[in-house]
């Protein structure tokens, strides 16, 4: 992943786009490694890309029923495909020069619980049209996806403009220095990107508290956070969760863990409907 900041050469003549894009460029400029080279690239025909998926950790693989592949076509229309849990890759069509996320969700009981594996095309896309999804890049790819699909006062063209010129490569770097990703304030990151005020300090954790695993009931032997890279949290002496509580997956199914509202060093653990 390249950290080098490159100069941005192409600017929109539209005043709105200039006002929106300039703050994004202050954050880190146009990304490298397969970035868009000209506006004409938007109108290139679709190209077939070969996706390669990361391995699902063995202890989590046994929990997953199937995977859901999600991507966007040349019009940013959502496409999806259900795949077997052991799928190693897939072939899809993407607009060759258009920035777009690709996501792979491991499904548990029909739910998108885990932060997906992901990639943001064309960042990191190889010259032979291969795209390697990773758990490290999934959070940023999911942020991109939510910006495009969210109901807001912005048009699709506006969203496409700042997402296309934003340096996702740099954001990936900053996110991976602030893991676990599920503790990051995703809402503020999205707002900062959309408002053109994004900077490295925008990527920060929500307020958290520390859970001592000795406080967890003995019948709960496995706890997994949405960040698949963390593994079984019960193998640790402690772990962080948001102050507002969070949903986890355990050997008892989905549970919500919260800090007790009045008792110190106490938790409220609620088993959710299966």
> In this model, does residue 109 exceed pLDDT 70?
yes
Mean pLDDT of 19-45: 48
118 and 249 together in one domain: no
Note whether residue 2 is domain-resident.
no
Q: Are residues 167 and 184 in the same domain?
A: yes
Whether residue 140 is contained in a domain is answered as yes
Residues 132 and 167 in one domain: yes
Mean pLDDT of 71-89: 93
- pLDDT, residue 239, reads 95
As a whole number of angstroms, the distance between CA 57 and CA 76 comes to 31
**Cα–Cα nearest to 238, from 206, 199, 269, 212:** 212
pLDDT given for residue 274 in this prediction:
60
Which domain-ending residue is among 170, 202, 234? 202
Per-residue confidence band for 136, with pLDDT thresholds at 50, 70 and 90: very high
Contacts of 66 (CB under 8 A, 6+ apart): 82, 83, 84, 85, 107
* Pair 97, 219 in one domain: no
Mean pLDDT of 238-250: 94
180, 202, 224 - which closes a domain: 202
**Distance between CA atoms of 190 and 173, rounded to whole angstroms?**
16
Task: Give 32 or 256, the one with higher predicted confidence.
Answer: 256
Q: Picking from 2-6, 132-136, 161-165, 198-202, which range would have the lowest pLDDT averaged per residue?
A: 2-6
Give the helix/strand (H/E) hosting 144: helix 138-149
Mean predicted confidence (pLDDT) in 28-53: 62
Tokens 């795949």 label which residue?
Answer: 83
Handedness of CA 11, 12, 14, 19 (dihedral sign): negative
22 pLDDT exceeds 50? Answer: no
Classify residue 247 by burial, with Cβ atoms within 10 Å: 0-12, 13-18, 19+: middle
141 with 239, same domain?
no
pLDDT at 27: 52
Residue 229 shares a structural domain with residue 193:
no
- The pTM of the full predicted model, rounded to 2 decimals, is 0.80
CB-side exposure of 77: number of CA atoms within 13 Å?
5
Residues 36 and 96 in one domain: yes
144 and 223 fall within a common domain: no
Rounded to the nearest 10 degrees, how much is the dihedral formed by the CA atoms of 109, 115, 117, 121?
130
Q: 72 and 158: one domain?
A: yes
Residue span of the structural domain in which 214 resides: 208-271
Residues with Cβ within 8 Å of residue 232, at least 6 apart in sequence: 59, 222, 223, 224
Give the count of domains, the chain: 2
- Using one digit for the tens of pLDDT, what is the confidence trace for 149-177? 887 778 888 888 878 888 888 888 888 88
Q: Decide if pLDDT at 182 tops 90.
A: yes
pLDDT grade for 202, boundaries at 50, 70 and 90: confident
For residue 8, tell me if it sits in a domain.
no
CA distance 148 to 156: 7
For residue range 39-51, list pLDDT tens digits in order. 444 455 789 999 9
């Amino acid at each position: 992943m390249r950290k080098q900041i490159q100069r941005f050469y192409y600017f929109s003549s539209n005043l709105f786009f200039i006002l929106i894009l300039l703050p994004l460029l202050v954050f880190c400029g146009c990304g490298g490694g397969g970035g868009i080279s000209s506006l004409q690239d938007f109108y290139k025909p679709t190209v077939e890309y070969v996706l390669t998926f990361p391995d699902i950790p063995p202890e989590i693989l046994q929990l997953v029923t199937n995977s859901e592949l999600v991507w966007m076509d040349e019009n940013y229309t959502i496409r999806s495909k259900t795949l077997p849990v052991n799928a190693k890759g897939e072939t899809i069509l993407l607009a060759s020069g258009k920035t777009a996320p690709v996501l792979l969700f491991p499904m548990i009981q029909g739910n998108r619980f885990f932060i997906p594996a992901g990639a943001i095309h064309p960042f990191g896309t190889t010259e032979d049209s291969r795209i390697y999804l990773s758990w490290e890049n999934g959070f940023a790819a999911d942020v991109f996806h939510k910006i495009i699909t969210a109901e807001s006062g912005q048009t699709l063209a506006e969203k496409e403009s700042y997402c296309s010129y934003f340096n996702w490569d740099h954001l990936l770097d900053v996110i991976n220095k602030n893991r676990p990703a599920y503790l990051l304030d995703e809402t503020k990151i999205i707002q900062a990107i959309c408002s053109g005020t994004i900077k490295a300090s925008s990527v920060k954790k929500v307020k958290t508290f520390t859970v001592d695993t000795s406080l967890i009931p003995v019948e709960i032997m496995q706890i997994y956070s949405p960040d698949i890279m963390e593994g079984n949290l019960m193998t640790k002496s402690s772990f962080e969760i948001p102050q507002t509580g969070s949903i986890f997956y355990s050997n008892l199914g989905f549970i919500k863990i919260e800090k007790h509202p009045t008792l110190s060093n106490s938790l409220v653990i609620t088993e959710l409907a299966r």
